[in-house]
Structure 1
Amino acid sequence: MTPPATLTSTRPFADLTTLTDLGGGAFGALIDPIWTIGPKVHGGCMMALCAAAAREVIRAPREDMARPIDTSAMQPIAVSASYLNAPDPGEVRLITSVRKLGRQVCLVDVDLIQGEKVAVSAVVTLGVPDVAEPRHQEPLALADLPAAPPSDAVHITPDHPMGQIVHVAKGCDLRVDPSAALFLSGQQGDPVNRMWVRPFAEDEVDTDVAVLFALMTGDISAPVTMNRGMFGWAPTVQLTTYLRRLPAPGWLRVMASATVLGDTWFEEDHLVLDGAGHAVVQSRQLAMIPKG
């Protein structure tokens, strides 16, 4: 396996999600090799690219509307993606089709294409995220996890065994709770993982980039099947992610868990809290049990 390129950018996630307008609702993007798991592009990064394309197309100036719609505050509040192929890092195209352009909700279909193959087909819903305090909220499973990683958190660096596979750790600060990720010490436990993740400073300060980064963290965990001794590629078939509110600056706390590990399929849920303790992202994916 060819190792990913050395990181040189101070804003790698902004670079990933910066699009080139190709005209007609099409965009180009360049995926750096750091945004991979093993040799293939990370699914959460592809979801973020689809969300970026949808946001870009609804914010584009329109001269054919009698009453222009202000979409400047809209963000991708729901992304439902089906994964058709696993692309390599490099150039991709994103083809958008606006299905609804409304004052409160917009809907855009996005295909992420490499070569002649569609890798991801996504439906992106855009709107203004919540700002006020929730009217009702059940106790959050991550509420007792420290807002910042403690000294015993495992820092996933490029030299760490996990960092040699999870290359996305080069583009952010990723630290894992060793009391949950028992697979790191050769043990088994519940299919649960907990971690802290934070974008680099120049990515964090840009609200639009921070939003896309938060969406990406809805797929940041290593497969929770590893805690049951099942290693190898666990391909995501479908992933739906909700952005509940804009993330506050600081560390994001992430928990990944599963309730049913079937013979072929398992679901994996992510809950992401920001530094203020708010639920900013929720996701659920359907994936396949590793064959290795």
Structure 2
Amino acid sequence: MTEFEQGTAVARRAGAPGVYDAELDAGWRIGGGINGGLLLSLVGRALGDHLGEAGGHPQPVSLSGYYVSPSRPGPAEVHVEQIRSGRTLSTGAATLRQTADDGTSVERLRVLAGYGDLSRSDEDVRTSAKPPQLPPVEQCIGTDAAPPQFLASAELLQRLDLRLDPAYVGWALGKPSGEGKIQGWLRMADGHEPDPLLLLFAVDALPPTTFDLGLFGWTPTVELTVHVRALPAPGWLRVVHSTRNLAGGFLEEDCEIWDSNDRLVAQSRQLAVVPR
């Protein structure tokens, strides 16, 4: 079992249909809590198990998650409900909960999702999207160039092989481009090949675009919507993050993920809090 599979593992609770137990590993932390993409992948695994059995639709097509409170390492539980099962899609809802110090159950994440069969995603493709032009992997910069204070609070980077485009890492030298863009090559350090659940994590795996605006610190996700467009091919992923509007203490962050076959395999948008 790979580190990603371990980090997103869920187990059906005996005698409790739709309830899954999980363990949130501290090795996936960033800032004050577990990475939001990792949480979405974990909930996505529970949804796929439940909807795959109930409706024959095991793979995520669209997920929208609202991050209600910061998660923390330790036990968690996922409650899954099937809302509808159709010919093409099944719709489900899920919540991720943890027990607080006072014994109360606290909601961390709430997700509404559509699940289907991605095996037909290559049958009819009409797109004007173009893959990003990145320097070769060996000419890109590893995450060890990130600000020390960021690395100290981002354990998950140890699980990644991430190489950033030098054109958008001026922030590491105190010279951000101001474009609000970060892009690079991504794969898992332990060799876990891309799959639909990994894409849910990858859309939130790069440093925040606020770095390229000269703003450092934790950027908590408020809401994250991911569209999985195809089964990814093995190999490196190319990930592009950008923002166009920072206002009122929030910013949007758009993401595209391209696989080794130049296929756009995932798109996302999230709303996040501007770091203090």
* TM-score > 0.5, shorter chain as reference: yes
State the match for 1:278 in structure 2: 263
1:100 is the counterpart of 2:88 = no
1:56 is the counterpart of 2:43 = no
Q: Residues of 2 paired with 1:154 and 1:236: CA distance?
A: 25
Deviates more, 1:187-196 or 1:130-139: 130-139
Contact 2:159 2:190 in 1 (8 A): no
Cα distance, 1:88–1:232 mapped onto 2, change above 3 Å: same
Cα distance, 1:202–1:289 mapped onto 2, change above 3 Å: closer
Deviation (angstroms), 1:181: 2.3
Contact 1:157 1:169 in 2 (8 A): no
State the match for 1:78 in structure 2: 62
Q: Residues of 2 paired with 1:159 and 1:228: CA distance?
A: 14
Counterpart of 2:39 (choices 32, 37, 46) is 46
* TM-score, L = length of structure 1: 0.85
State the match for 2:127 in structure 1: 137
State the match for 1:167 in structure 2: 155
Q: Residues of 1 paired with 2:168 and 2:191: CA distance?
A: 30
Cα distance, 1:39–1:265 mapped onto 2, change above 3 Å: closer
Q: Residues of 2 paired with 1:89 and 1:159: CA distance?
A: 24
Contact 2:32 2:218 in 1 (8 A): no
State the match for 1:16 in structure 2: 7
Identity of aligned residues (%): 28
For residues 56-81 of structure 1, the C-alpha deviation after alignment (integer angstroms, 9 at most, x for no partner) is 11223x6xxxxxx543xx31111100
For residues 8-38 of structure 1, the C-alpha deviation after alignment (integer angstroms, 9 at most, x for no partner) is xx71001012211113100011121111103
Contact 1:11 1:200 in 2 (8 A): no
Counterpart of 1:32 (choices 14, 21, 25) is 25
State the match for 2:206 in structure 1: 221
Deviates more, 1:270-279 or 1:10-19: 10-19
Q: Relative to total residues, which structure has the larger helix share, 1 or 2?
A: 2
Cα distance, 1:290–1:202 mapped onto 2, change above 3 Å: closer
State the match for 1:128 in structure 2: 117
How much is the aligned-residue C-alpha RMSD, in angstroms? Answer: 2.1
Aligned pairs, number: 266
Q: Residues of 1 paired with 2:139 and 2:51: CA distance?
A: 44
Contact 2:131 2:263 in 1 (8 A): no
* TM-score, L = length of structure 2: 0.89
Task: Give the match's secondary structure for 1:249.
Answer: coil
Task: Give the match's secondary structure for 1:280.
Answer: strand
State the match for 2:102 in structure 1: none
State the match for 1:187 in structure 2: 175
Q: Residues of 1 paired with 2:191 and 2:70: CA distance?
A: 29
Contact 2:8 2:39 in 1 (8 A): no
Deviation (angstroms), 1:200: 4.4
Q: Which runs of 5+ in 2 are unaligned?
A: 100-104
For residues 231-261 of structure 1, the C-alpha deviation after alignment (integer angstroms, 9 at most, x for no partner) is 1222211110011001100000001001111
Contact 1:194 1:256 in 2 (8 A): yes
